[in-house]
């Protein structure tokens, strides 16, 4: 039986299936010739390229050919190899088919998710173009939909300010620590800089700037590092908590 070692660089089942296809219809004598060639190739690869995917592949091919040769050696003379009658080949084929089904399902799920996020991004743009955004609650999926938002500078600035305010106030789902941690990973620097400044202003008890303040939004968009530096400075000089 073929020995399968873990290797992220070699698809063993694919190699096995390829070998099985290549000898389909061959009799024991033809397979014996292939075994000798594969063993020579495996020895050569082990000597000059040992431990590489190439050497591992050559070894697997030789082992599988030896297995098939042994199988034909137990069969009646003249028997030709048929993967459909080989339990080992059938198991390999089933594993490959299962992987293909899983990959297809994963791709379908990813496509559905992209469509859902794109639709949510369109909703956010529509909300930002009206007065409805101010009364809308941020949803957890808004974080992942952010990269799909396509709007002009004014729309993006309004959405940035809205999300920063929602995170600052920990509205709804954004109060969840896990959701907030995810926000820090996926939101653009402009939103995070805006949020940092809002948090810093609240910490020192300074009057809050209007979320749509042109100065704040402009700084957050064009100089997020400067805004974060300002937030850090304010936080550092915040009065001690009583």
pTM: 0.65
| DSSP one-letter code for 189 | H
Q: Residue 27: what are its φ and ψ, rounded to 5°? A: -95, 180
> What tokens were used for 91?
């198991």
* Residue 10 pLDDT class (50, 70, 90 cuts): confident
Task: Look at residues 192, 200, 202 and name the one whose alpha carbon lies nearest to residue 231.
Answer: 200
* Residue 15 pLDDT class (50, 70, 90 cuts): very high
Please tell me whether residue 81 adopts helix, strand or coil conformation. Answer: coil
> How many whole angstroms separate alpha carbon 90 and alpha carbon 10?
20
| DSSP one-letter code for 130 | S
Domains of the chain by residue range: 12-85, 109-236
Tell me how far apart the 2 most distant CA atoms of the chain are, in Å.
94
| DSSP one-letter code for 218 | H
| DSSP one-letter code for 8 | T
Residue 88 clears pLDDT 70, i.e. is over it? yes
> How many whole angstroms separate alpha carbon 14 and alpha carbon 67?
16
Cβ atoms of residues 123 and 180 within 8 Å:
no
pLDDT of res. 237: 56
What is the CB neighbour count within 10 angstroms for residue 222? Answer: 10
The dihedral sign for the CA sequence 83, 85, 88, 92: positive
**Residue with more model confidence, 10 or 110:** 110
* Residue 26 pLDDT class (50, 70, 90 cuts): very high
What is the CB neighbour count within 10 angstroms for residue 81? Answer: 22
Cβ atoms of residues 198 and 233 within 8 Å:
no
pLDDT of res. 239: 57
> What tokens were used for 42?
């495996």
Mention every residue, 6+ apart, whose C-beta is less than 8 A from residue 69: 28, 31, 32, 35
Cβ atoms of residues 71 and 32 within 8 Å:
no
């Amino acid at each position: 039986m073929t020995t399968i070692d873990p290797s992220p660089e070699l698809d063993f089942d694919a190699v096995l299936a390829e070998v099985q296809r290549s000898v389909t219809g061959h009799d024991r004598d033809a397979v014996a010739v292939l075994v000798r060639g594969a063993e020579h190739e495996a020895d050569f690869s082990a000597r000059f390229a040992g431990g590489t995917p190439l050497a591992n592949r050559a070894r697997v091919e030789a082992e599988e050919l030896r297995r098939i040769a042994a199988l034909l050696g137990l069969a009646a003379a003249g028997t030709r190899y048929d993967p459909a009658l080989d339990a080992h080949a059938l198991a390999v084929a089933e594993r490959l088919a299962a992987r293909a089904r899983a990959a297809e399902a994963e791709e379908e799920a990813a496509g559905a998710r992209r469509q859902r996020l794109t639709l949510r991004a369109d909703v956010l743009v529509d909300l930002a173009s009206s007065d409805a955004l101010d009364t809308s609650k941020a949803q957890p999926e808004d974080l992942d939909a952010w990269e799909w938002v396509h709007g002009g500078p004014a729309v993006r600035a309004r959405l940035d300010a809205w999300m920063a305010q929602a995170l600052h106030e920990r509205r709804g789902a954004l109060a969840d620590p896990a959701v907030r941690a995810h926000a820090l990973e996926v939101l653009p620097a402009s939103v995070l800089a805006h949020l940092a400044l809002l948090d810093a202003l609240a910490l020192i008890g300074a009057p809050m700037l209007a979320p749509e303040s042109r100065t704040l939004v402009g700084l957050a968009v064009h100089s997020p590092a400067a805004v974060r530096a300002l937030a850090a400075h304010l936080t550092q000089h915040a009065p001690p908590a009583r």
